[in-house]
Structures are given as structure tokens and as C-alpha cells.
Amino acid sequence: MQNPRVVVDLVKLKENLDFLSSRIKKNNNISVTAITKSFSAHPEIISVYEKCEGIDYLGDSRIENFIKNLETTKEKVLVRIPMITEIPEVVKYTDVSFNTEIKVIQKLNEEAKKQNKTHKILLMVDLGDLREGIFEEEELYSVVEQVVQLNNIKLVGLGVNLTCYGAVIPTEAILNRLVYYKEKIEARFKVNLTMISGGNSSSIYMLDPDNPENLPKEITNLRIGEAFVLGRETAYGKDYKEMHQDIFTLKTEIVEYKTKPSYPIGEVGVDAFGNKPTFVDKGLMKRGIVGIGQQDVDKMTIHPLDSRLEIVGASSDHLIIDFTKAENDYQVGDEVSFGLDYGSLLNCFTSEYVKKEFI
């Protein structure tokens, strides 16, 4: 079986990695944490990341993804707050983890002692996006005061997450608050915080020379996921002309191809997902069904590369497409190709039913 499948152009991926990592390094020699969760840290793709000199760390939110790539030489960063139940694996398989709760950090310290290791952590600070992070300034200092007393934990820096939940766009003023906390902590607790992680792909727009917002020079690390794989920054969704936006292509095939009405016949209730759909009566339509569905990918996050085609609906296993404008160019068994966004890329690599092909 070959369909449905995601086709990955590894040559274009390497070009994206080389271009953007070099561009980031050119600005204040910032270290790069490459986030690998969008492609489930697939070993074929990780091998390309491993060879990129501009990437310093591999970051992911799933321990299982680190376990799949034990031979990588780059330091591994867990970018999701650890669950207490996975702490033994966190210490065993990662070098650095992002944290916000002193109880979790104390457990990490206990486990690191058992494993005869020193585990490095970043404390995440919430600067308004309202996802993870310590929000109150005095709580931050209280946590630091307790952390520096732990023998098997090393506090190496601070981090912030922006745009992922609250969609707050990073600015110089926001990131300078992170710098402020860094300086206060270093002075108060006599520590050296070397890794100040100033966000993700939404922060790289601040490196543009013609942008009024500048990345503070004290920011020493960026976490880059979407920009590498889709060739764009994520604050404003700007594509970089020097990068590829088509590294990943979803392909599947037509399993049914018939002329049918465009409006259901009978009383309309709810669909398989509990939603009541709406329809536009366009008369007779050349309707094709392709072999992929909502179980594998959200129909709202993919688009046919043939602009004449239109997705009209989906069930768990089938995607229904209007082929009317191109009805003579397709038949049962033909392949249809789709472009992906970040969410659909994540879906396709998570689904075991979508095969992966590398070119």
C-alpha cells in the first residue's frame, strides 16, 4: 500500500535548514533549538537536522520522539512541562527540560540523583500569552531560590512562549521583560543564565533589518519549528522567498468519481462528528471521493494543489471533492495532491495510516 502518503523533499528541507539557521546565527550568534514534533521526529528527517551545523539542540514535546533517535549527538530539550509520571524518562532521555512547578523540579532532582546525573532546566515565564510560565515576579524569584539549592538540577536559563495559545506577537518590549528577569536573577542569586530562549518561529521577524522591532541582544536562543518546515515566520505569516514552502506534499487517490447532486436529499441532521453541516445547492456536481479522512487530517488545514478542485466535506475515512471544473482530467485511481499547513503536517505524521515517502 502506498496511499495516502506524505512525500518529503529532503533536499529542499536541507536548504531551508541551512538558510535560516545561518541567518539566525548571523544575528548575535543565537543558538537554535530545532523543534521536531511536527514530523514526529521521524528518523529520516532527523538525520538531515543532525547534519545541519547551525542547529544546536533538538526540541520536542514527546519523550517517545527522543527515544526514536537515541543516536543523535545534539542536546535534547523537552519543551513541554514534564508530567510527574514521566520524570524517570525525562532525566534518562533529555538533557534540558522546560519547567514552571517547583514540585516537578524537586522530583526531577530526586530522579537525577538516582541516575547520577545533573539535569538542566529552563524556567518558563508567562509574559501574557497565558499558556505555560510563571506569571508573578515574586513567585519566579521564590522558585529560583529553591532551585539553586538542589544538587542535581542546574538552572541554565529562562524561556518564554508566545503566539501558540494567546497569539501574542513578540515585541522588543515584551522580550526585554525576560531580559529584566534574567538580570535580576543573576544579581540576586549569583548565577549565570546562559540560555535565554526568546520564543519560536514568531520571533524571527525581529531579525529582519528593516523591522522596527529588534530582538534584544541578550536573547541567546530561539526555538524554530514551523519556519524550518514551511519556510515562513509565524508572527505575520510572511513567506521567505529564499525558502521552500512545499517540502511536504500529501498524496492520495480517487476511490469514487460520479456525478451527483450538490445538496443532500432528505432532512439534514448532524454528521458523524456531531455537527450540523450547511450546504449550497450548485446543481449537479462531479464529486470525487479520495482515500483519506478526518481521522488522519483536518479538511480545513489542507488545500488541493490543483486550484480547480474544491474540498466540499469529509467523514472519518473519506474526503469529498468537487471536480466539476476539471472533470475530464481525472478518473478513479488517479492521485490528488494537497499542500499542508503546520497542523495538517502534525496530523499526517501522527497518523500511522498515512505513509511517509522521502525523496
What's the average model confidence in pLDDT over 314-329? 96
Domain ranges of the chain: 10-230, 248-358
Which residues, listed in sequence order, are joined to residue 177 by a DSSP beta bridge? Answer: none
CB 114 within 8 A of CB 94: no
- 153-159 and 195-197 strand pairing: parallel
- Tell me if residue 26 is catalytic: no
Q: What is the pLDDT of residue 278?
A: 73
Q: What is the pLDDT of residue 283?
A: 76
Q: What is the pLDDT of residue 52?
A: 97
DSSP 8-state secondary structure symbol assigned to residue 154: E
The highest-level CATH class for domain 10-230 is: alpha beta
Q: What is the pLDDT of residue 166?
A: 81
pTM: 0.93
Q: Can you tell me whether residue 184 is helix, strand or coil?
A: helix
Which residues, listed in sequence order, are joined to residue 77 by a DSSP beta bridge? Answer: 59, 96
Q: Which three cell numbers stand for residue 317?
A: 475515512
CB 205 within 8 A of CB 211: yes
**Angstrom distance (rounded) from CA 14 to CA 19:** 9
Residue among 25, 37, 117, 184 flagged as catalytic? 37
pLDDT confidence band for 208 (50 / 70 / 90):
confident
Q: How far is CA 47 from CA 42, 132, 291, 308, in A?
A: 9, 30, 30, 37
What's the average model confidence in pLDDT over 296-324? 96
CB 227 within 8 A of CB 204: yes
- Across 162-171, 172-181, 281-290, which has the greatest mean pLDDT? 172-181
Is the pLDDT score of 293 beyond 90? Answer: yes
What's the average model confidence in pLDDT over 229-258? 97
Which residues, listed in sequence order, are joined to residue 122 by a DSSP beta bridge? Answer: 98, 157
CATH of 248-358, one of 3.30.420, 1.10.287, 2.40.30, 3.30.70: 2.40.30
Of the candidates 341, 354, 277, the one whose C-alpha atom is nearest the C-alpha of residue 312 is 277
